[in-house]
Amino acid sequence: MTAKETIQSGKATLGIEFGSTRIKCVLIDEDCNPIAQGSHTWENQLIDGLWTYSIDDIWTGLQDCYAQLRADVKEKYGVEIEILASMGVSAMMHGYMPFNKDGKILVPFRTWRNTNTGKAAAALSELFDFNIPLRWSISHLYQAILNNEPHVKDITFFTTLAGYIHWQLTGEKVLGIGDASGMLPIDPELKDFNRTMMDKFQKIIDPYGFPWKLADILPRVLVAGEEAGALTQEGARRLDPSGHLRAGVPLCPPEGDAGTGMTATNSVKQRTGNVSAGTSSFSMIVLEHNLSKPYPSIDIVTTPDGSPVAMVHCNNCTSDINAWVNIFKDYIELTGQKADMGELFTNLFNVALKGDPDCGGLVTYNYISGEPVTDLADGRPLVVRSANDKFTLANFMRANLYGAVAVLKIGNDILLKDEKVNVDRITGHGGFFTTPVVGQKILAAALNSPISVMKTAGEGGPWGMAILASYLVNNKNHQSLADYLDNNVFAGNTGSEVKPDPADVDGFNKYIENYKKGLEIEKAATKYKA
């Protein structure tokens, strides 16, 4: 069946992902091959000291993204999208979206990027004997309680961004287990929120006298392959105001970007892992056994089918690189030339490989916002060098690329060196890997591990979501998610692999020593630079 016939017969599947800087959607055929796509660029806003996206921007962005997809389908195949086999929505994990009985959001969406929840996260980590990060939804809820925010008493439902969009499209207040594991710890046996921890939380908030119980305001947890509702008439119009898309499309459980990354890189089995590197970065290693103790820098979340995963999440990755590339763009245009951004990124990434393995002594801190792994509630982007360092373009770019994954290395050194976690394969995806080989070499040096990248590296998230939606309706043999990926999607394809260069590994280790020492400089900058 051709792509056109797939679309016309209603056999195509749609995956949508709300990233930090782009909303993306991918249409796939029954074999999970991408056949069309759309995107919309957006940016978070800092309002009253908190990072947010407006509700209007969420829906305007989604509609534009879908309109771009429709336009791509029309241009390529000359047809309209009228019916789909299935679809799914994913988004950046964590954060806080509380709603009242009328379905109105009570405070602006508080994203994962916010680090104002330190008191709540520390108290809950101690209460649960489980690492509860700053960005987790339960941290945001408890911090709002500790701050005596008046809206808390009016909550009837709270969820993540993916959970909210899914609810508006289907009427169902549900959440995929991977995304749910970034709200509140999961019981791996029950495949549901940890009831013991929920009871502990309820006891400490009972004295406040709220009219709700925690169990009543959380979404219902689902695993990959379970039905999660269908597109309503209203939902169809919200997605496609043109009116072409029909209601009734089945939706898979909404997921977080961590889960779609694992899916898109075939990393849901034990001893596999992936690294997503874009605006933020995170690594996911599927565990064979529990860690010896909780670590503040390591989250325990789950795969979309509920297996425990060690996650190292870093708030900052490529944003500061993007800012520097824009400076180079401005210079090119100052000379009267037109800058091709794709070419500029490629050239600057490639020149980094010509730099010294230790970046000639240069160190960069890419902290657009705070970084919990290195215990910084706030951040200031910095380039640190001495008069004797080798300040060249190659070393400068290499230092920026090292800096983008430095915090990731610090967190993963705990897993790989201290906890002796075994990993057979790590796959990279996200914008950091768009330029061939470069991102792989840098990350291989950081983790001292082979790094694979697949051809979908730059667009993994929405494709991963589309695969999860396909798994809902095309899993005729009732396979596990891991087997479905192996047999139906990847069929032995492990992508292109880059092994670590010992000189690069040694160079990165020298860089990270300087990086750790220089964290005092970063802390001083946050104190003295407003």
Confidence at 285, pLDDT banded by 50, 70, 90:
very high
User: What values do phi and psi take at 210, rounded to 5?
Assistant: -65, 150
Segment 180-204 mean pLDDT: 97
Which tokens in the block code for residue 266?
């075939």
User: What values do phi and psi take at 131, rounded to 5?
Assistant: -65, 115
**Structure confidence by residue, pLDDT tens digits, 367-395:** 999 998 898 989 999 999 999 999 999 99
Which tokens in the block code for residue 103?
């379905």
The verdict on domain 1-91+161-171+224-255+461-490 having CATH code 3.40.1280.10 is no
Residue 243 pLDDT:
96
Residue 278 pLDDT:
86
- CATH number for the segment(s) 266-453+500-530: 3.30.420.40
CB contact at 8 A, 371 and 379:
yes
CA-closest candidate to residue 18, choices 99, 115, 88: 88
Q: Which 8-state DSSP code applies to residue 155?
A: -
Same topology between domain 94-159+184-217 and domain 266-453+500-530:
yes
**Structure confidence by residue, pLDDT tens digits, 422-471:** 898 899 888 899 899 999 999 999 999 999 987 755 557 899 999 999 99
Residue 279 pLDDT:
86
283 CB-near residues (< 8 Å, 6+ apart): 273, 274, 275, 276, 311, 312, 408, 411, 412, 426
CB contact at 8 A, 247 and 171:
no
Residue 182 pLDDT:
95
CB contact at 8 A, 361 and 388:
yes
Residue 291 pLDDT:
92
Q: Domain coordinates of the chain in residue numbers?
A: 1-91+161-171+224-255+461-490, 94-159+184-217, 266-453+500-530
Q: How far is CA 41 from CA 101, 173, 412, in A?
A: 32, 27, 31
Q: Which fold has domain 94-159+184-217?
A: Nucleotidyltransferase; domain 5 (3.30.420)
Measured distance CA(267)–CA(272) in Å, rounded:
5
Residue 494 pLDDT:
66
CA-closest candidate to residue 245, choices 393, 70, 412, 47: 70
Strands 34-41 and 255-256: unpaired
CB contact at 8 A, 469 and 16:
no
Which tokens in the block code for residue 365?
């801190």
CB contact at 8 A, 50 and 144:
no
Mean pLDDT of the chain: 95
CA-closest candidate to residue 305, choices 133, 484, 462, 160: 484
Q: What is the 3-state secondary structure (H, E, C) of 157-170?
A: EEECHHHHHHHHHH
**Structure confidence by residue, pLDDT tens digits, 45-63:** 999 999 999 999 999 999 9
Segment 298-326 mean pLDDT: 94
Question: Does the reported pTM lie above 0.75?
Answer: yes
CB contact at 8 A, 115 and 134:
yes
User: What values do phi and psi take at 110, rounded to 5?
Assistant: -100, 115
User: Does the pLDDT at position 181 exceed 90?
Assistant: yes
